[in-house]
Structure 1
């Protein structure tokens, strides 16, 4: 039997790789899917059009592509992306195709999906398992849902993300590995299709594997309240709001929301509206007016 470990996010790779080196029964490569599917559009993501639309959204959010006309446009079926304008960027789709090829070529290959109790891992699990029905019996899940672990000081804590766990603690967690049942393939596959059709702006974990969809604007009021009367670095505002959340959102996402608030006139900015580190923001009024770079021209 050969083994492939699956994680969602680069921060989980080093600790799991170190744990694998401690136990010969866990020997196998780590495959990382990087896209955070807990945020952004998911509509028809099982098609090339949907994948191209999501790549466009990520580029816009990171300041490497023109902005959409409105936030709503990115989450409306009617606002279908122009596929021709989206470059082919190697990503999770390519990694999945490679994984599927390996499963077909090596009938002894099993995969272990590692997931922490956070919306990114759970959404990633739904996406992955919805496409692996043909390999039932060879797909295992290790869901560290509300489980106690020991930290560096020997105290008990309840991690939400894999990177918070000490490598040696993974050796205990491996005992939780179990095959994904046929019923789970059906139910969790249906849940993924529900998430795609719902196409919410963000997905929030309520407990277990239950995700609640909310609009992309869900934390806009928090961002506005955190902004003061004087200019503050946008990344600092994003970190302050994100740090208060049980399941942090990507800095790029909150930075994108700040740019959208500037476009709507709800915040003022100074600097180029590209990445979250390139500009400052404040509440409207107060200081002497400062020229704002329109988002669509950033």
Structure 2
């Protein structure tokens, strides 16, 4: 018997859930069809299970009620960094962090607060972005519809902090969130890490723009998070402005957005193509045959373009240039490190 308990501890959470499900499937029929002893045992097991579930639910409700502040983030990686920082500050239990798993700088966003708009966006992503479906289904809790449900379910007494930076992805996400919070009475605040970085004189050791949360050094980021309780409140007039700007954005059919001069700029999908060709020509100087790794091309763009764009969109543009005959490729097209590209001289884009 001791060996059974030890082996139980070795089960993963999913394995334990599966085992419990199997035991319930065996037990429940005896609550109706078993003889006296079988029914009594089955009833006691089911009652024990129901009490345990109810107790766990009560603990979760109590934990949620203790949380006075909800943080909204537009990417899972940024949310992970924020959770770690809050834990380091000893404030994780009082703060809930909700995050999208998306990149709002690319793809259609028309009517994405409704099912038809979400389907349209997903179909576009399935067609254009490699590996989209795997990542999409692995993180169901962070899909747009699920996040809409979570945001609209935030209690009225909770304060809300929206985290963003100076990039089209976060700024579109900010406006989408403000649209979802329309007519809510919650106190809504904003932490723009790009602005806060510029205000942090001790961190000004580089001229590179910190256009994304992930670019901040750990200590600098933690120093910013420390001040979250003094986050700037978004006043009513600003809330109305963000809501109106979202309505304008959500009517557009474009599938690429960039951040330029403090504004979201709508761009054609071909916006990146000339930059990609120029990068390939630059890297090809050190190549004997003119071929350069696709991953190196995309990495170079991300390092010097200062825009937060899904790398899968950039790869989609590479393959468009290949299909159009502007680029040649060799290797295996399964992953960026497995194939190389070369400029087909004389072809124009």
Distance 1:8 1:196, change over 3 A: same
Q: CA deviation at 1:65?
A: 8.0
Find runs of 4+ consecutive structure 1 residues off by over 6 angstroms. Answer: 86-89
Match of 2:257 in 1: 203
Match of 2:57 in 1: none
Larger radius of gyration: 2
Q: CA deviation at 1:259?
A: 0.6
Q: CA deviation at 1:211?
A: 0.8
Matched, 1:189 2:246: no
Secondary structure of 1:188's match? Answer: helix
1:91-170 matches, within 5 Å, as: 91-101=143-153, 103=154, 106-147=155-196, 148=198, 155-156=203-204, 159-163=210-214, 164-165=216-217, 166=219, 167-170=221-224
Q: Distance in 2 between matches of 1:277 and 1:26?
A: 41
Q: CA deviation at 1:221?
A: 1.0
Choose 22-31 or 189-198, whichever is displaced more.
22-31
Gaps of 5+ in 2: 1-66
Q: Distance in 2 between matches of 1:278 and 1:199?
A: 33
Match of 2:267 in 1: 214
Which one of 45, 61, 73 corresponds to residue 7 of structure 1?
A: 73
Q: Distance in 1 between matches of 2:102 and 2:343?
A: 32
Q: Distance in 2 between matches of 1:55 and 1:171?
A: 33
TM-score (norm 2): 0.66
Q: Distance in 1 between matches of 2:273 and 2:335?
A: 18
Query: Residues 74-99 of structure 1, C-alpha deviation per residue, up to 9 Å, x if partnerless?
Result: xxxxxxxxxxxx99983122122123
Compute the RMSD of aligned alpha carbons.
3.1
Q: CA deviation at 1:188?
A: 1.0
Match of 1:43 in 2: 110
Matched, 1:233 2:299: no
Q: Which has the higher helix share?
A: 2
Q: Which has the higher contact order (CA 8 A, sep 6+)?
A: 1
Q: Distance in 2 between matches of 1:47 and 1:13?
A: 24
TM-score (norm 1): 0.76
Secondary structure of 1:198's match? Answer: coil
Gaps of 5+ in 1: 67-85, 287-298
Match of 2:228 in 1: 174
Match of 2:83 in 1: 17
Q: Distance in 2 between matches of 1:268 and 1:197?
A: 37
Q: Distance in 2 between matches of 1:115 and 1:176?
A: 16
Q: Distance in 1 between matches of 2:92 and 2:79?
A: 18
Q: Which has the higher strand share?
A: 1
